[in-house]
Structure 1
Amino acid sequence: MADEKRTWQAVLEHVETALLDGTLVPGDRLPGERALAAELGVGRSSVREALRVLEVLGLIRTASGSGPQSGAIIVATPRGGMSALLRLQVAAKGFAMKDIVGARLVLETSVAEELARQEHPTLADADTLLSAMDAAELTPAEFLTLDAQFHLSLAEATGNAVIAATMAGLRGAIERYVLEGSERIEDWSATATRLREEHTAIIDAIRSGDPDAARSHTHRHISGYYAQITS
């Protein structure tokens, strides 16, 4: 039993190391279960256990079946554990969608404004996620998971640990309502295109040092999607 435990932990550490050193980035897909087991010289049960842990941690999203949309896609990189407690609290309370959206509007418009006031905001993670969201084969669930991570990356770019932890704690709730809402959208492709354009507008406003535009674009982006899925 101890050896088996160490084996799945070795798989976990292998993937986490690749995430931390940039070998794997959001939008990448892990090799299939069989290929990963062969590469690391472990049993498939150990790979499955490690993938379950990575999914619980919010680092990957898995999909069953075969083809380009199956398997595990990277949706985040490892972060501190403080936000895990907030995620549990959000899940336990079951906050209403309108309250989550209201909190996002207060928090994220301020984040965008703050970043636009910085001389050299750190937006590399946001850029990586924007590129990942351009992939044509993404399912709505994968796209929206990367979308939530994009918003989290902006909070982290402020350098304020409390803001970043709060956004990370809200992430699961954000993913849940945007995904449930996507099922009511008739033309998902058009919506995904619009969301990508809105993300780009936010980043452009931040880079151009325009706090008012950054705040406005962020407010319009969040409130617009909420209005679309509740109309």
Structure 2
Amino acid sequence: MTTSLATISETITRDLAMKIIRGTLSDGDMLPGENELAVQYSASRTSVRNALHVLSAKGLLSIQAKRRSTVNPRELWSFLDTDVLGWMEEVGISPDVAEQLVVTRLMFEPNAAVLAAANATARDLAAMEDAWTLMSRGQQQDQVTLFEEGDLAFHTALLKSCHNPFLMSIGNALSAAMMLSFKQTQESSVRETEHAVEQHRLLLEAIRLRQGVKARECMRDIILSAANRHLWTTLPEKYTHLI
């Protein structure tokens, strides 16, 4: 069975991406030319070119006419791209990136909780409750996949309950980043997440009772309590204005 052009291109894309994310290829490094890469990967120039364009679209490379592709600095990477996040997860994200994920959530989710408290319908509340039940079952049964599925479903349902198309679009882009954030601040055993499950229950009740200020506090506490256990002992002073 022959390997498809897409599969070859995807293999090259992933291999080069992992080298960039691991730092084997650093900011400003120039990649070999298309012909050299084609020989290196035993592939066609078309497959190589496709791979380079994918990496360029994701911000990892810059491509200029008649020049070799150049590795971009990390701040130009598309951090909300699901592939980029997946590759970063495989390598292991650095503490500073994990911190910036938490900061992003602090800026976004507490205020989304306020809007959810104002706009959530009975259907929205049911979706959040179903997600919370899934989280709780995952915690009780020590099933990581179940807990993570419920956790992400809860936050997704909360964003939907805002009934704001712009927030929903942002939320869709952030969902993969949120999952990575959850994994970075998750306990070693899901059985130890009982407090997190209770925090989500309190948030759900605040939204159900239309208590916007309380919902904001609950969401902030969910994010900060996880960060305080895994990233810092107290919130750094430079972020205090966020809460």
Give the TM bin, normalised by the shorter chain: 0.5 to 0.7
Q: Which residue of 1 aligns with 2:180?
A: 176
For normalisation by structure 1, the TM-score amounts to 0.54
Task: Name the aligned partner's letter for residue 224 of structure 1.
Answer: S
Superposition CA RMSD, Å = 2.9
Distance 1:138 1:205 in 2: 27
> What is the aligned partner in structure 2 of residue 134 from structure 1?
136
- The DSSP-based 3-state class of the residue aligned with 1:133 is helix
In the superposition, relative to structure 1, how do residues 90 and 163 fare at CA in structure 2: closer, same or farther (>3 Å)? farther
Q: Which amino acid aligns with 1:124?
A: A
Gaps (5+ residues) in structure 1?
1-84
Verify the 8 A CA contact 2:142 2:189 in the aligned structure 1: no
Q: Structure 1 residue aligned with 2:85, among 63, 67, 91?
A: 91
Aligned to 2:228: 227
- Of structures 1 and 2, the one scoring higher in RCO (CA 8 A, sep 6+) is 1
Matched residue pairs, number?
A: 145
Alpha-carbon spacing, 1:209–1:173, altered in 2? closer, same or farther (3 Å): same
- 1:197 deviates by 0.6
Per-residue deviation, 1:200: 0.8
Per-residue deviation at 1:145? 3.2
Q: Which of these residues, 156, 167, 171, is aligned with residue 171 of structure 2?
A: 167
Q: How far apart are 1:134 and its partner, in Å?
A: 2.3
Which residue is 1:32 aligned to?
Answer: none
* Shift in CA distance, 161/89, structure 1 to aligned 2, threshold 3 Å: farther
In the alignment, the residues of structure 1 paired with residue 226 and residue 145 of structure 2 have an alpha-carbon distance, to the nearest angstrom, of 15
Q: Can you give the 5+ residue segments of structure 2 that lack an aligned partner in the other structure?
A: 1-78, 233-243
| Counterparts in 2 of 1:205 and 1:187: CA distance versus 1, 3 Å | same
**Residues 90 and 170 of structure 1 are in contact (CA less than 8 Å); yes or no, is this contact kept in structure 2?**
no
In the aligned structure 1, how far is the partner of 2:184 from the partner of 2:103? 18
Using the TM superposition, give the Cα deviation of residue 151 of structure 1 relative to its aligned residue in structure 2, in angstroms: 0.7
| Separation of aligned partners in 1, 2:114 and 2:228 | 23
Counterpart of 1:222, as a letter, is: I
Write out aligned runs for 1:1-231 (5 A). Answer: 86-88=80-82, 91=85, 96-118=97-119, 120=121, 122-135=124-137, 136-182=140-186, 185=187, 188-190=190-192, 192-231=193-232
Aligned in 2, Cα 1:104/1:168: closer, same or farther, shift over 3 Å? same
Shift of 1:217: 0.7
Structure 1, residues 163-216: CA drift from partner, whole Å, max 9, x if none?
12212222222222322433xx356423x2111110111111111121111101
Q: Which residue of structure 2 aligns with residue 56 of structure 1?
A: none
TM-score, with length taken from structure 2:
0.52
